[in-house]
Each structure stands twice: as C-alpha cells, then as structure tokens.
Structure 1
Amino acid sequence: MQQGIHPEYRPVVFRDKAGGLSFLTGSTASGDRTVEWADGRAYPVVDVETSSASHPFYTGRARLTDTEGRVALYRRRYGG
C-alpha cells in the first residue's frame, strides 16, 4: 500500500436525523461536530438522512403497487 495517499480511517458516529438511530463504526468520512459516545470519548458525528431505522423498506412502511387493479385495467382495455 502506497503511503500518504489514503484518507485517515477512524471511528465515526453516524446519526439518522429522521429515525433517531446512532451507531459507531469505522469510516473515512469526517464531520464538523463531535458527540460524546457511551464510552465517554468524543467522536466526529455525520448526520445522514436515511438509515435502517427510517427507510420504508426496513420499517415495513413501503408502498406496494396494486397489481390486481393493473390486471383488471389491462383486461378492460384489451379484452380478455
């Protein structure tokens, strides 16, 4: 691995603004602010719009398309 060209890899807190979930992980992302974690240390924090706590697919609030209505529309339009 070539020295001096890679970004610094360090622990960072990612915080979901909509879902209220925060998790500590390693990343090269940097944040302007810091937050104190449960271990008493301060880590840079990166706010994200969506995570598994707020994404509709993971929370079960995803919209499903009405496939029965589409089939009925097709049969009405083209006979069948």
Structure 2
Amino acid sequence: MRTAIHPVSRPVVFRDRAAGFALLTRSTLDSQRAVEWEDGHTYPVVDVEISSASHPFYTGTSRVVDTAGRVERFERRYGGAAARR
C-alpha cells in the first residue's frame, strides 16, 4: 500500500449552536477556531447548522426557516415566470 496518501484524522468538536449541543469525535476537518472541552484539552471546533439535537426528524418538532430571501432571489432571477404559468 502507498504511504502518506490519507488525510490526517484528529479529534474535532462539532457544535450545534442552535441546540447547545457539542460532540467530540475524530475527523479530517480542520478549523482555525478552538474550544476547550470538558477534559481540559483544546480542540478545533466546527459549527454546524443542524445536528441530531436540532433536526426535526429526531426531535419531533418543526423549525421555521426564513425563505423570503430565496423567494425574492428566485423572482428577481426569473421575473415571476413561474407564477404566470
């Protein structure tokens, strides 16, 4: 097998700020930001929008997502052609 072709795997904290949930696991992702974990060590942190703590499938709750910007961008791009059909 060839050596030195795989990315480096290191401990990384994935944090869901909306739910206040954090998970320490191994990943190849790297981040310039760091956070101190419960064990006293400092690890790189990656912020995610949705995790199992905030996903509607796992929590049974729905989340309001602001789609006004997307709709306005669609209308600007296509000039309301979809509404005229």
TM-score interval for Structure 1 and Structure 2 normalised by the shorter chain: 0.7 to 0.9
Secondary structure in 2 matching 1:23 = strand
Aligned residues: 63
The answer on 1:49 being equivalent to 2:49 is yes
Question: Which protein is bigger by CA-based radius of gyration?
Answer: 1
Q: Which runs of 5+ in 1 are unaligned?
A: 63-80
Percent of aligned pairs sharing the same letter: 65
Deviations along 1:9-46, one digit per CA (max 9) or x if unpaired, are 01000001211100100111111101000111000000
CA distance in 2, matches of 1:55, 1:28: 24
- Which shifted more, 19-28 or 1-10? 1-10
User: With structure 1 as the length reference, what TM-score do the two structures score?
Assistant: 0.72
RMSD, aligned CA: 1.5
CA distance in 1, matches of 2:50, 2:31: 17
Please report how far the alpha carbon of residue 56 of structure 1 lies from its aligned counterpart in structure 2 after TM superposition: 0.5
Q: Which runs of 5+ in 2 are unaligned?
A: 63-85
Q: Which has the higher contact order (CA 8 A, sep 6+)?
A: 1
CA distance in 2, matches of 1:40, 1:18: 24
